[in-house]
Chains A and B, each alone.
Chain A
Amino acid sequence: MASQSRRTPLERVEYVLIVSTLLLLVVFTLQPLLNLLALSLSDASKVAGFSGLSIFPDGFSPDVWLLLLQHPNVQRGIFNSVWMTATSVCIGVFGTALMAWGMSRPGLPGRRLIFILVLVTIVFEPGIIPDYFLMKRMGLLNTPWSVIMYKAISAWYLIILIRFFEEIPKELLEAAELDGANPFQTFFMVVLPLARPALATIALFYLVLHWNEFFRAMIYLNDQSKWPLQVVLRQFVIEGDKIAIVGANNVNNNLGLAQINIRALKAGMILITILPILAIYPLILKFFTKGTMSGALKG
C-alpha cells in the first residue's frame, strides 16, 4: 500500500490501461461462447432475432438442450466419444508411463538411440495417406480402434513424463531395491504412486486431445453410427447438413425439430460438445497450469 501511494498519476493511468486491455481480451474470449449459451437457452419465440451481442437468454427454455440430448444421433455421438476417449486415455497413460520409466533410467542400454527414434517421429511425419494405408492394411478402417490407437502415445507427453521420472530421488528407488523389490514392483508400488500428479496431468492432456479429435475419425470411420460427437457436430454445424439432425421427414413437413430455430440448435450442439471440457476445466487449470509452469521453469 505504501508503494501504491508513491505511484505517479501516469503510472496509475498505465495500470488502468493494462487491466482494461486484459479485460477486453476476456470479453473477446468469452462473449462468443456466452452468446451461444444464451441463444440455446432462450425462449423459442424470442430466438429468431436474437442479437449476436447479447449474453443473457431472452426468456428461458431448456427445450433445445432436452431435444438434442434425446436425439439418437447425439446420444450415439456422446456414447462413442466417451468410450473411445476413455479407452485412448487408459492406453495412453499406461503406455506412456511404462515407456517413460524405462527411458528415464540413466544406464539403460540403447537409451540414446531410442530417444533419437522418438524425436524423429516429432520431426518427420510422412502424412495422412501413408497412415490411411497402414490402417487399411491392418484392417482397422471403419473400426473405432483406428481412431483409438492413432497417437495413443504422444512423443511430447512421453518426454514430459521422462523428465518427471528422472527427478525421482535415487534414494527412494534404492530403498525399494534393498527391500527386495524387483523393477516391476518398484515401478508399480513406488514410482507410479509418486508420479500421481504427473500422471493426472498426462491423463488430462490425452483426454482433451482425444475428446477433440475429429479428423482421424472423419477419414477412418465411414459408418455414421461409429462417429464421435465432434464428427456429428461437424456434419451439422460446419457442413450445414441440417437433415442429419433435424431429420428429412421433419424438414419436409415442418415437424418436431424443424420447428426449433436452427441457430439455437447449432448453438446447443456446440455447447453439448464443449460441456465435458467445461466440466473438467477446473482440473485442467489446476494440473495443466502447474505442469506447464514447472516444466518451463526447469526446462
Chain B
Amino acid sequence: MVAKDKQRIAIALKHGNVPAHGSGSGMGSEPTSTESELASTLLASRTGMREKVRQWWPYYAMMAPGLLFFFIWHYVPIWEAKMAFENVRIIPPNIWVGWKNFEVLFSSPIFYQVLANTLIISGMKILFVFPVPIIVALLLNEVRSGKLRGAVQSAIYLPHFLSWVVIAGVFIALLSPTDGAVNQVQTAMGFEPVNYMTNTGTIRWVLVVSEIWRSAGWDSLLYLAAIFAIAPELYEAAEMDGANRWQKIRHVTIPGIVPTIATLFILNMGMFLSADLNQIINMQNAVNASTIDIIDTYVYRMGLSTGEYALATAAGLFKAVIGMALVLVSHFVSKRLTGKGVW
C-alpha cells in the first residue's frame, strides 16, 4: 500500500504533477499512511486541475475578449465611482473626504426636487403606461383573423425601434400649438390650443403618452407570447362550462400571464429611479426643465456642464445603490410569489 503510493508520488514527481517543496518534506523520513493518503489525494486533485485546464482553456480563450470587456467597461467604472467620496481636483491626486459630498447633496433642495420629479414620473409611468401593453395583448388575442392581427402588430411595434431623438421630434411636431394634429383637433372642437411641450402642467403627461406610443405595442408582444403559451385545453374546458369572452379572459388568460406581468413589473420597479434619461433629455426645454428634471439629468448637468464631478457622481451612486436594492428586493419577492425572477 505504502510502497505503491510512494511509487505514484515518484511517477508524479517525474512528470511534475506535485510541487517539489510539497513532497520534499516526506522524502527523508518514512511517510506514514495518512501522509501518503494526503499526498495521493493531492495528486488526484492536481491531475484533475491539469485535466481541467487542458479541457477548458480553449473556452476561456474564446471568452477572454468578453470578460476583458466586462471588466473594463463595467467594473473599472465602479472603481472610478470612488470619486463620490473625494474632492476632485484639476491637478491630481484627489483627496478622500468620506461622506462629505453626500452630505452636500442631501442638504441641497434641488436634489429633493429632482428626486421628487423622478418618483412622480416613474409613478405615473407605472400607473398609466404599464397596464397598456397588457390590455393591447388581451385585445390582440381576441382578434380571430391572423392577417388582421399581423397587420396591427406590424404597425404598433414600429415606434419601439426609433430613437428618443426621433420620437421627441415627432411629438414636438404633433403637439405644436400652431399646426400640430392635437391642437388642430382641439381648436376644431372649440378649445384653446395648448403648448404641451412648454406647459409645466402637461409635460409629464407628454412623457407618459410618448412612452405609451413607443412601448405599448412592442411590450404587448411579451404578454401575447405568454397568452399563446397557455394550454388550449384550458380554453376548451372553460367553453364547455359555458364561459363567455370575459369569463375566459378573467379565469384563463389573466391567470396565465400573471407570472409575466409580475416579472415585467419587477423590471419596471428596478428602473424606478431611472425615469428614462434618453426620453427626458430630448423632451426638456428651458421652460419645462424644472418639472421633469430627474436624477439622471441632474447628474448629467452637474457633472458634464457645471463640472461638479464629485457631487454628480455621488448623486449617480445614490441612484445606483437604491436602484440595485429595488431590483434585488423585487426579484426575490417575485421569485417567492411567482417562481419567476428577473433572471
Contacts and interface: CB of A to CB of B under 8 A. Distances in A.
Interface of A: 11, 14-15, 18-19, 21-23, 25-26, 28-33, 35-36, 49-53, 95-96, 98-99, 101-103, 105, 107-109, 114, 117-134, 137, 149-153, 155, 158-159, 182-184, 187, 208, 211-215, 219, 230-231, 233-234, 237-238, 263, 266-267, 269-270, 273-274, 277, 281, 284-285, 288-289, 292-293, 295-297, 299
Contacts of B161: 208, 212, 277, 281, 284
B136 interface: yes
A23 B152 contact: yes
Chain B interface category by residue count:
35 or more
Given A31-B181, A233-B169, A124 B324 contact: yes
Contact of A126 (B81, B140, B157, B225): B81
B174 A49 contact: no
Interface in B183-237: 183-185, 213, 216-217, 221-222, 224-226, 228-229
Q: Binding site of B, secondary structure by majority: helix, strand, loop or mixed?
A: helix
Given A238-B172, A297-B229, A25 B217 contact: yes
B158 A281 contact: yes
Given A133-B83, A296-B225, A19 B69 contact: no
B14 interface: no
A7 B222 CA distance: 29
A126 B320 contact: yes
B288 to A, nearest CB: 13
Q: Binding site of A, secondary structure by majority: helix, strand, loop or mixed?
A: helix
Contacts of A101: 59, 62-63
Contacts of A273: 163, 165-166
A214 B278 CA distance: 8
Given A130-B78, A233-B165, A293-B225, A95 B69 contact: yes
Given A126-B317, A285-B154, A215 B277 contact: yes
Contact of A131 (B62, B77, B278): B77
A126 B67 contact: no
B11 interface: no
Nearest to A99: B66
B143 A103 contact: no
Interface in B305-326: 309, 312-313, 315-317, 319-321, 323-324
B148 A127 contact: no
Contact of A15 (B142, B156, B168, B320): B142
A47 to B, nearest CB: 10
B172 A52 contact: no
Contacts of A208: 161
Q: Which of B72, B77, B83, B174 has the most CB of A within 10 A?
A: B77
Given A102-B59, A292-B222, A22 B139 contact: yes
A132 B304 contact: yes
Q: Which of A26, A124, A213 has the most CB of B within 10 A?
A: A124
